[in-house]
């Protein structure tokens, strides 16, 4: 029987001035929104900002609002669920004036700006796609 640990992660949906959304390549085999573990002493918002910087190089972020929390298993080998870890993910909406992407974390070799309607096509994990689709109306139509 697999023992499942529960971890807290946080991330962000980052919009640039052209309303393009930041997506991140992980380990050269999957795509996600920028996110990562909340470290000891960090708030979810602080973790989201740190992870966005590490995974994209963006440092000038303006918090717009919290978008929600959802849970899913960690993405494992062959992009299957790794049931050893259940992640509770808190997502925030940010805006930035920066456009140049420069990932700092070698496990995330590429960051890219994509159109809102293209984001679900990029996201590897089905729960990430479902969450994005569920909050998409909060980030388009001028509500940001």
Query: What CATH number did the domain enclosing 19 receive?
Result: 3.90.79.10
pLDDT band at 108 (very low <50, low <70, confident <90, very high): confident
More reliable by pLDDT, 2 or 83: 83
Rg (CA), the chain: 14
The pLDDT tens digits of the residues spanning 12-35 come to 999 999 999 999 998 878 899 999
If you average pLDDT over residues 52-78, what whole number do you get? Answer: 93
User: 95 in a domain, yes or no?
Assistant: yes
In the chain, the number of structural domains is: 1
User: 144 in a domain, yes or no?
Assistant: no
Torsion over CA: 63, 34, 103, 40 (sign): positive
- Taking CA 16 as the corner, what is the angle to CA 64 and CA 51, rounded to the nearest 5 degrees? 70
Phi first, then psi: give them for residue 6, nearest 5 degrees: -105, 130
Q: Which domain holds residue 28?
A: 5-139
In this prediction, residue 67 carries a pLDDT of 96
Confirm if 114 and 122 have CB atoms less than 8 A apart: yes
pTM for this prediction: 0.91
User: 85 in a domain, yes or no?
Assistant: yes
In this prediction, residue 140 carries a pLDDT of 65
User: 40 in a domain, yes or no?
Assistant: yes
User: 37 in a domain, yes or no?
Assistant: yes
User: 129 in a domain, yes or no?
Assistant: yes
Lowest mean pLDDT across 29-33, 35-39, 74-78, 108-112: 74-78
């Amino acid at each position: 029987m697999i023992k499942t640990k529960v971890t807290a992660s946080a991330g962000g949906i980052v919009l640039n001035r052209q309303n393009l959304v930041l997506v991140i390549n992980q380990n050269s085999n999957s795509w996600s929104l920028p996110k990562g573990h909340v470290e000891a002493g960090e708030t979810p918002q602080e973790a989201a900002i740190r992870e966005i910087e590490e995974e994209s190089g963006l440092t000038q972020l303006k918090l717009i609002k919290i978008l929600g929390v959802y849970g899913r298993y960690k993405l494992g080998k062959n992009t299957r669920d790794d049931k050893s870890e259940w992640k509770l993910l808190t997502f925030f909406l940010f805006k930035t004036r920066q456009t140049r992407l420069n990932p700092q974390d070698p496990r995330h070799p590429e960051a890219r700006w994509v159109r809102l309607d293209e984001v679900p096509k990029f996201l590897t994990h089905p729960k990430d796609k479902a969450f994005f689709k569920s909050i998409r109306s909060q980030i388009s139509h001028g509500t940001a």
